[in-house]
Amino acid sequence: LSVGDSVAAQVDDTRRHATALNHSATHLLHAALRQTLGDHVQQKGSLVGPERLRFDFSHFEPVTRAQLLAIERLVNREIRKNHVVETRIMDLEDAKATGAAALFGEKYGDQVRVLRMGDFSTELCGGTHVKAVGDIGLFKIVGEGGIASGVRRIEAMSGAGALDWVEADEDRVLRLAGLLKGGRDDLDDRVATLIERGRTLEKELDQIKSRLASSAGKDLASQAVAVGGIKVLAARIDGVDPKALRETLDQIKDQLGSAVVVLASTADGKVSLAAGVTKDLTDRLKAGDLIREVAAKVGGKGGGRPDMAQAGGTDPAGLPAALGLVEDWVRQRLA
């Protein structure tokens, strides 16, 4: 563009109307927040667009679900009252005398525009708004969270956008009900049953893993070698989680009596390690020292007590070398 150009400006009516709905809904939200949470609520920022509105405000704690519902109901109640939106140009001091809320950090001239929605909301504002609050149709809060110390943020929708959100949410509920082969009314019970069943299966799976690990431990104990009169075992057991690895380690130590044991397992490209030293040897050999050297070979680190230590790694390819150094490590420490 250049100075002197002639241009024709055209307003996108649909976009502007949607923005006006969200802007007027923001004023109602501000008033509802102050009524519900207290007069300490002050606007700290906002964003008004055709798709949604965002309102930042001062508040010292998260807004509870019950409070959000109360705020939402309060705004929708005012929408149903269908107040005519009144605008007046007034002297700044006269406007303040009416109790009109001013925006944070805003600098005003001598003349200001006062926007009033019944007895519910009166603010200084120069933006686009509806003619009557009933035009907003529906107000829906879709998010709340903290953005800074003492500052919360609410995101919401109005008009057709709010209706679209509600319909999409309804579709999600119905899809979930269909997946659970039930209706929306018994969705809570079916989900609770599914969660409980999952917990039961997890417990059963842990028990099976423990039994398998115990069985594997009995077989592994026979593979221990003698180093300086001490039994040493370094072995890999796949398909067990870190908890089962620890349980198997304790079982093998009990079976061997006086021993140093290192067990490893891999899953999803990660390595789990557990090292154990029977208590009669911890004055000379410490599991924490051993696990650090073993873990370094698989791109990891770890630590623990003299009699038991754990570690993780990210390089399964280094596991043979890691387990292979255990015998030499014991031999060097004994020497």
- 73-77, 163-167, 215-219, 301-305: segment of lowest average pLDDT: 215-219
pLDDT, position 166: 95
Helix ranges (DSSP H) in 223-283: 242-256
Is the separation of the CB atoms in 325 and 288 below 8 Å? no
pLDDT at residue number 96: 78
Q: Is the pTM of this model over 0.75?
A: no
Q: Residue 107: CB partners within 8 Å, gap ≥ 6?
A: none
Strand ranges inside 134-288, DSSP E? 139-148, 151-158, 225-227, 230-236, 259-267, 270-277
pLDDT of residue 214: 66
pLDDT of res. 216? 65
The token pair that represents 164 in the structure block: 């679209």
Average pLDDT over residues 91-111: 75
At 238-293, the pLDDT tens digits run: 777 788 888 888 888 888 888 999 999 888 889 999 999 999 999 999 999 999 99
Q: What is the mean pLDDT of the chain?
A: 90
| Three-state SS at 7 | coil
25-74, pLDDT tens digit by residue?
A: 999 999 999 999 999 999 999 999 999 999 999 999 999 999 999 999 99
What domains sit in the chain, N to C, each tagged with a CATH number? 13-179 (3.30.980.10), 210-334 (3.10.310.40)
**For the segment 219-238, what is each residue's pLDDT rounded down to a tens digit?**
788 788 898 889 999 998 87
Confidence of residue 103 (pLDDT cuts 50, 70, 90): low
State residue 109's pLDDT score.
79
Residue 113 and residue 88 in contact, taking contact as beta carbons nearer than 8 Å: yes
pLDDT-based confidence at 139, cuts 50/70/90? Answer: very high
At 64 the pLDDT is 96
CB 235 within 8 A of CB 263: yes
**Helices 187-221 + 159-179 axis angle, to 10:** 50
Q: Tens digits of per-residue pLDDT, 142-154?
A: 999 999 999 999 9
Mean pLDDT for 180-186 is 85
Quote the pLDDT of residue 217: 62
